[in-house]
């Protein structure tokens, strides 16, 4: 279970608070969506969960299965099962995607105390997961994300997620820049990972993705706080009304 308690945060070195008292609980096994206008702090929240050090938490706490993660490094958080799929995935020139994936998978397995995968076992694993997402072996030989289209980058993020088998998945705007077929592939990948012992936080500006990843709960983030929570119908309502009632111009 993820518990975010009265979280206040800002960019390191800046004055203005972006998050001003976020309270949010995602029980184990549930999928929650965070919606909100552009600039409301959705990505900030995602980065803070992952432990990115450009941000400073000034108040509050984040508990993962009852334990505070505030003092943990991004690597330690990953080892605890927390995974963030970025809105803007990073490119790593010079490192073949396959090599990157193998290193990531084995380092997580090591930290979790499971055995590293042998080369044949890894190849079987990556082929199966990549096949599900329509990612070719040729693409895996190319440097990570370099020259990948928006859709290919998003599918790569979901591939990483499905191979790292996290227990807390944070998907930040996994739908942006995707055509409808790519959204379906990505959503199917995420849906396959739904499980009673895994939680997901799906961050999106538009309701569209939530037609495919149907959330248990929807929360609206605006002005640095969760302003409203509801079931999936709240997303449909927002699609009609925009974010005007939260003092923002309609999407």
Question: 41-70: which residues touch Mg ion (CB under 5 A)?
Answer: 42-43
- Per DSSP, 146 falls in state T
Antiparallel, parallel or unpaired: β 217-222 and 143-144: unpaired
| Stretch near Mg ion under the rule CB under 5 A, chosen from 40-48, 70-78, 90-98, 238-246 | 40-48
Smallest gap from Cβ 38 to ligand ADP, in A, equals 4
Nearest alpha-carbon partner for 219 in 26, 5, 35: 35
**Binding-site size, ligand ADP (CB under 6 A):** 10
Smallest gap from Cβ 112 to ligand ADP, in A, equals 30
Contact of 199 with 168, CB cutoff 8 Å = yes
Nearest alpha-carbon partner for 154 in 171, 166, 137: 171
From the list Mg ion, ligand ADP, none, partner contacted by residue 18 (C-beta under 5 to 8 A by kind): ligand ADP
For residue 36, the Cα-to-chain-centroid distance in whole angstroms is 15
Q: What is the DSSP string of 65-90?
A: TTEE-TT--HHHHHHTTEEEE-SSPP
**Cα-based distances in Å from 86 to 24, 26, 160, 175, 197:** 20, 19, 11, 11, 22
Question: 3-32: which residues touch ligand ADP (CB under 6 A)?
Answer: 11, 18
Q: Radius of gyration (Cα) for the chain, nearest Å?
A: 18
Question: 68-107: which residues touch Mg ion (CB under 5 A)?
Answer: 87
Nearer to ligand ADP, 38 or 136 (CB): 38
Smallest gap from Cβ 177 to ligand ADP, in A, equals 14
- The binder of ligand ADP chosen from 6, 27, 39, 103 (CB under 6 A): 39
From the list ligand ADP, Mg ion, none, partner contacted by residue 145 (C-beta under 5 to 8 A by kind): none
Distance CA 234, CA 239 (A): 9
Smallest gap from Cβ 18 to Mg ion, in A, equals 11
Smallest gap from Cβ 43 to ligand ADP, in A, equals 3
Residue 83 structure tokens: 């995974």
| Stretch near ligand ADP under the rule CB under 6 A, chosen from 36-44, 67-75, 128-136, 159-167 | 36-44
Residue with tokens 């941000």: 55
Q: With binding defined as CB under 6 A, does residue 36 bind ligand ADP? A: yes
Residues interacting with Mg ion, by CB under 5 A?
A: 42-43, 87
Residues interacting with ligand ADP, by CB under 6 A?
A: 11, 18, 36, 38-44
């Amino acid at each position: 279970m993820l518990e975010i308690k009265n979280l206040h945060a800002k960019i390191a070195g800046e004055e203005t608070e972006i998050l001003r008292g976020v309270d949010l609980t995602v029980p184990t096994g549930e999928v929650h969506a965070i919606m909100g206008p552009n600039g409301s702090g959705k990505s900030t929240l995602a980065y803070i969960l992952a432990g990115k050090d450009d941000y400073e938490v000034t108040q509050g706490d984040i508990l993962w299965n009852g334990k505070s993660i505030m003092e943990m490094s991004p690597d330690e958080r990953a080892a605890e099962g927390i995974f963030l799929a970025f809105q803007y995935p990073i490119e790593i020139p010079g490192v073949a995607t396959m090599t990157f994936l193998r290193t990531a998978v084995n380092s997580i397995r090591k930290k979790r105390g499971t055995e590293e995968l042998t080369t044949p076992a890894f190849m079987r694993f990556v082929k199966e997961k990549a096949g599900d997402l329509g990612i070719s072996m040729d693409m895996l030989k190319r440097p990570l994300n370099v020259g990948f289209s928006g859709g290919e980058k998003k599918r790569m993020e979901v591939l990483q997620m499905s191979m790292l088998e996290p227990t807390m998945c944070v998907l930040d705007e996994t739908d942006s820049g995707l055509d409808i077929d790519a959204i379906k592939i990505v959503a199917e990948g995420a849906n396959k990972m739904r499980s009673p012992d895994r939680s997901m936080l799906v961050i999106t500006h538009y309701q569209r993705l939530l037609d495919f990843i149907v959330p248990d709960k929807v929360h609206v983030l605006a002005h640095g706080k969760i302003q409203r929570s509801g079931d999936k119908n709240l997303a449909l309502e927002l699609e009609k009304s925009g974010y005007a009632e939260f003092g923002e111009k309609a999407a």
